[in-house]
Structure 1
Amino acid sequence: MTSQAMKTEKDEAAGWFAALQGEIVAAFEALEQSHSRGPLSDHAPGRFEVTPTRRTGEDGEDAGGGRMCVMRGGRVFEKVGVNISTVHGTLGQAAQTSMAARGVPGIKDDPRFWASGISLVAHMQNPHAPAVHMNTRMFWTPGAWWFGGGADLNPCIEYPEDTAHFHDTLKAHLDPHGADLYPSLKAWADEYFYIPHRKRARGVGGVFMDDRCTGNWRADFELTRDIGRAFLPAWLPLAEARCATPWDEADRDTQLRHRGLYAEYNLVYDRGTKFGLATGHDPDAVLMSLPPMAKWA
């Protein structure tokens, strides 16, 4: 692939992530506005605060940035972040070693990189409404390009029908790319979103992929877009249905303890968190995924 062709595809990918952010932010604000019954319906509807983010390279040069959209204390969302970024620069030694171990060609000889993506985490006011995570990204080095990311559901109080709807919707969006793809990416998510020191999953799973490079950029990009397209129909009906459910202090305690698991996973194991902090991106944007409140025994 020529450098000009890759620039065009980088621009297309970054544009898609920005468009998806806009669609999700609008849908979440509409959900806040429409919540008119049940707990917290008398609160003012939440609105996103939008903050530009910047990355500075090791020698102080501009290295890209993004847009952080965060809502706190709404009717439906206790805290939700929908961030995009497009950054570039030179990978540090630790990142080079990690990527070389994963088989990225030429990374030691030329450690330049470019990365663009969207990252979303929603922590809900109502313990019966499931928290959720979604991210998709494109990564480039002079020797390779790939896509990664996925979506997973994190209820503190599980409803089997919600879990089934979430997975069925993801499967419907992935099946056009191959009947074996959803089972493969589901199994990957089950492995990736596992907390070894707790010997349990952090939620009820979803789909996940990394280092996706079949050699067909267009096909891999379309798969990545369909993971993003699946998000709102997979999750929004669950939030709409559960945000009016009454809850009590026992439900809230269950929610806060479950959030502790989420925080442990993101700080100890999550690859995106480690990469963002290691490459100098805005720490507030990187750590946006952490819940506003959590509890441990």
Structure 2
Amino acid sequence: MTTEMDQEKATASAWFRELRDTIVAAFENLEARHNEGPFADQPAGTFDVTETRRASEDGSDAGGGLMSVMRGGRVFEKVGVNVSTVFGTLGERAQSAMAARKGLPGMKDDPRFWASGISLVAHMQNPHCPAVHMNTRMFWTPHGWWFGGGSDLNPCLEYDEDTQHFHAVQKQHCDRHGTEHYPRLKAWADEYFYIPHRGRARGVGGIFLDDHNTGDWQADFGFVQDIGKAFLPAFVPLVEKRRSMAFGDAEKDAQLVHRGLYAEYNLVYDRGTKFGLETGHDANAVLMSLPPMAKWV
């Protein structure tokens, strides 16, 4: 028997796939149109698409998704757009983390879960173009459901007008659901994407939302949809502005050093990386966020 929550989960999963398709098409269009400036003489990049499967201990179906990665394009040096819908039971470490964070002592009695979402990280050829991260997701257990997501900009060469544009678009989409949201989500991103051992943020911020459940599924789903819809208008104009700019060894060096900072954060602190590896998801898909090349000084 199909329940209302089953229908809502299917709706969310379909939306994440639709958003993935829209972003992949937009990025391949950027590649096709880049015909002047650095890397314009290279073949236009396209995505390699691979099906992923979540590993379950007993070998039963545990869901999966699509890993879409473009490497060595004209605009994108490496970009991954992953979408997945996975389910099963949480291991003891994940149960404990979930119980502590969400206040759910019943997780040990019924550790079933279902999760669906999209995750994106783009590392650019031209160091004047900012790297970027975005994800949106829905998580369900028998004890409740939650939405999360956000996006943040990670330039190695900062332009104030780019930062202002990125944040303005995020605010515009958040404000559709109440003007109180953007300041809270911006502050949350500033806290979440901070690297304690470096004493700095990994980029210029954005928005971050987690464990979101107001009790109104439709309203919360609409909110996370707008977080996803904000991504392309926030990011693509920055790429259009910067992709043909000339650069030299100093700018490329700054990019590689900044990528090292990005890798440190994702491997040491990122909650999504830890969850993906602990729950048996495809390791290549989980670690897709890592840059193709980085440098430490």
TM-score, normalising length from structure 1? 0.99
Q: What amino acid is the match of 1:108?
A: K
Following superposition, which runs of at least 4 residues in structure 1 exceed 4 angstroms of deviation? Answer: none
Q: Does 1:275 align with 2:264?
A: no
Q: Is the 8 A contact 2:102 2:211 kept in 1?
A: no
How far apart in 2 are the matches of 1:202 and 1:56? 31
Q: Is the 8 A contact 1:68 1:285 kept in 2?
A: yes
Q: SS of the residue aligned with 2:230?
A: helix
Matches of residues 1-297 of structure 1 in structure 2 within 5 Å? 4-105=3-104, 106-297=106-297
How far apart in 1 are the matches of 2:91 and 2:199? 32
How far apart in 2 are the matches of 1:137 and 1:193? 18
Q: Is the 8 A contact 2:66 2:83 kept in 1?
A: yes
How far did residue 15 of structure 1 move? 0.1
Q: Is the 8 A contact 1:123 1:132 kept in 2?
A: yes
How far apart in 1 are the matches of 2:20 and 2:169? 20
How far did residue 56 of structure 1 move? 2.0
Q: What amino acid is the match of 1:208?
A: F
How far apart in 1 are the matches of 2:184 and 2:50? 37
How far apart in 2 are the matches of 1:147 and 1:289? 21
How far did residue 3 of structure 1 move? 6.5
How far apart in 2 are the matches of 1:153 and 1:103? 28
How far apart in 2 are the matches of 1:144 and 1:109? 14
Q: SS of the residue aligned with 1:173?
A: helix
Q: SS of the residue aligned with 2:77?
A: strand
Q: What amino acid is the match of 1:262?
A: Y
How far apart in 2 are the matches of 1:262 and 1:96? 28
How far did residue 122 of structure 1 move? 0.2
Q: Tell me whether 97-106 or 204-213 shows the greater mean CA deviation.
A: 97-106
How far apart in 2 are the matches of 1:73 and 1:133? 18
Identity score, percent: 69
Q: SS of the residue aligned with 1:52?
A: strand
How far apart in 1 are the matches of 2:51 and 2:43? 25
Q: Tell me whether 34-43 or 110-119 shows the greater mean CA deviation.
A: 34-43
Q: Is the 8 A contact 1:104 1:144 kept in 2?
A: no
How far apart in 2 are the matches of 1:104 and 1:256? 40
TM-score, normalising length from structure 2? 0.99
Q: What amino acid is the match of 2:187?
A: A
Q: Tell me whether 53-62 or 177-186 shows the greater mean CA deviation.
A: 53-62
Q: SS of the residue aligned with 1:62?
A: coil
Q: What amino acid is the match of 1:12?
A: T
Q: What amino acid is the match of 2:251?
A: D
Q: Structure 2: give runs of 5+ residues left out of the alignment.
A: none
Q: What amino acid is the match of 2:246?
A: P
Size of the aligned set, in residue pairs, is 296
Q: Tell me whether 26-35 or 106-115 shows the greater mean CA deviation.
A: 106-115
Q: Structure 1: give runs of 5+ residues left out of the alignment.
A: none
